[in-house]
């Protein structure tokens, strides 16, 4: 009998600890909840995945957690940085090794994965950055340039399948909500992404071909504001 992937239990424990921390009353209860939350996070990023399904679930969970706690990233170090590194590794591995339905031959999936990996690497480079350290600054500048280039390249790729279109809409929704939390754009994009997925079962766009040749339309480059600002700041040093 195959043993269950231990990462699944780690994800469940992390979710429970997160929920407990959110509702813990001030005082000793809050301190204990925070300690449990930190411990669950440390366990999560150090637990190995033993199945492809578990790895994909971890990737999805970490993406959500990084976006949710982005405002408090410094307070969650070094766990936050470790999570960003695991997301980068898992994203590239998923694109290269896991031919699942969500990772089809549509080129947009690889473009999205590349952009996410570059963004995670940039975030990791900025974590604890010593601006007086020339080596660290060069590394941060290179990561910023790579991230900007990956996002620019993404805007030149046109989805060729419905799944790719859905993935692109959801990717932009996540980016907008993470880097512009006070802007309604992320909610609008998320609604669009949900509507697109729903339309597949309700045949609202039944006339949309299952594959489509790339068009000549130029897409607008949507590099996250935080990435662009970090790139300019690092380059100016």
Give the model confidence (pLDDT) of 14-58 as tens digits: 999 999 999 999 899 999 999 999 999 999 999 999 887 888 889
Residues in the chain: 237
Q: How many CB atoms lie within 10 A of CB 164?
A: 23
**Rounded distance, CA 68 to CA 15, Å?**
12
**Rounded distance, CA 94 to CA 63, Å?**
14
**Rounded distance, CA 156 to CA 43, Å?**
39
pTM score: 0.45
At 94 the pLDDT is 65
């Amino acid at each position: 009998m195959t043993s269950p992937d231990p990462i699944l239990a780690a994800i469940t424990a992390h979710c429970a600890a997160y929920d407990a921390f959110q509702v813990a009353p001030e005082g000793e209860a809050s301190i204990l909840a925070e300690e449990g939350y930190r411990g669950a996070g440390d366990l999560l990023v150090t637990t190995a995945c033993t199945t492809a399904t578990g790895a994909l679930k971890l990737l999805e969970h970490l993406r959500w957690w990084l976006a949710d706690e982005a405002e408090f990233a410094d307070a969650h170090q070094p766990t936050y940085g470790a999570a960003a590194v695991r997301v980068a590794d898992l994203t590239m591995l998923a694109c290269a090794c896991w031919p699942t339905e969500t990772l089809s031959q549509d080129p947009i999936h690889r473009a999205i994965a590349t952009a996410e990996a570059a963004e995670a690497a940039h975030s990791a480079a900025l974590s604890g950055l010593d601006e007086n350290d020339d080596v660290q600054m060069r590394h941060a500048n290179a990561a910023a340039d790579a991230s900007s280039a990956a996002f620019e390249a993404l805007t030149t790729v046109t989805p060729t399948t419905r799944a790719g279109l859905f993935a692109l809409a959801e990717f932009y929704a996540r980016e907008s909500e993470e880097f512009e939390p006070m802007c309604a754009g992320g909610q609008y994009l998320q609604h669009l992404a949900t509507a697109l997925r729903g339309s597949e079962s309700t045949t609202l766009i039944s006339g949309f071909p299952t594959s489509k040749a790339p068009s000549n339309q130029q897409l607008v480059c949507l590099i996250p504001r935080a990435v662009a600002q970090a790139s300019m700041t690092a380059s100016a040093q």
